[in-house]
Every structure is written in structure tokens, then in C-alpha cells.
Amino acid sequence: MDPNASRPVDVRRLRSALTDLGAGGVFRELLGIFLQETPERLATLRKALAAKDAQKVRFVAHTIKGSCGYLGANGLLALCRDMEGLGRSGVLTEAAPLLERIEAEFKLVQTALEEELRT
């Protein structure tokens, strides 16, 4: 069994790719950017939901989803994909509980990335 399977983020592939390219220092920078920008994006997502702005919901969820992809935050990626779909459909009735799940999953990812930065 993969010990990282239950972790909220698996950054091994990103770290390996950047190290292979000789850009190991970029790894820490990318984690820092994600940790700084994602809370702002989540706040924007919450405001878009309050305004019932489905297009903005779709766009912000898509943006977060992309960041999750390169970091290996697959659980958060899946939740953002679901939110993006709600935004695309224009039906936001299930979006508030989904945002709660996204925010909870982000906290797990945030903790894991902060641990990663301490190593």
C-alpha cells in the first residue's frame, strides 16, 4: 500500500520533475505561492457564491483545480472539479455545502504543505 495514498497531497512527482530540471528551489516557491493565493481564491469563491455568479464560481474553481493538479492535491482537485461543474451548469443549490468540503480539504492540504516546507 502506498503510504502517501491517504495524504491530502502527494508532491513527490512535482519535486522530482523540478529536481530533474535543475530547478529544485522552484519547488518551495510553488508551494509558497499556492499557500498564499488559495485562501484568497477561496474567499473570492465564497463571494461569487453569495452573489450567485455562476461564471465566476466556474472560473475560480477551475483556477484552484489547476493548482491542485500540479501539486498532487487530488482530493481537493476532485472537489474543485465538482464546483466547476456546478458553475458551468449555473445551478448553485449544492455549492454551499461543497464549498465547506473544499475549505476543509484545503486545510488538510495546507497542513501537509506546511510540513513539507519544514523539511
Tell me whether residue 6 is in a domain.
no
Domain range for residue 34?
12-118
pLDDT at residue 24 tops 70 = no
User: Per residue in 28-84, pLDDT tens?
Assistant: 888 899 999 999 999 999 999 999 999 999 999 999 999 998 888 999 999 999 999
Tell me whether residue 91 is in a domain.
yes
pLDDT of residue 54: 98
pLDDT at residue 116 tops 90 = no
Q: How many domains does the chain have?
A: 1
Tell me whether residue 78 is in a domain.
yes
Q: Buried b vs exposed e over 37-63: b needs ≥16 C-beta within 10 Å?
A: ebeebbebbbebbeeebbebbbbbbeb
% of the chain at pLDDT higher than 90: 64
Tell me how many degrees the CA angle 95-110-9 measures, rounded to the nearest 5: 90
Tell me whether residue 37 is in a domain.
yes
| Strand ranges (E), 1-119 | none
| pTM of the predicted model over 0.75 | yes
> What is the CB neighbour count within 10 angstroms for residue 95?
22
Tell me whether residue 2 is in a domain.
no
Tell me whether residue 7 is in a domain.
no
Collapsed DSSP state (helix, strand, coil) of residue 25: helix
Residue 71: which CATH number? 1.20.120.160
Q: How far is CA 23 from the centre of its chain?
A: 22
Tell me how many degrees the CA angle 39-40-42 measures, rounded to the nearest 5: 65
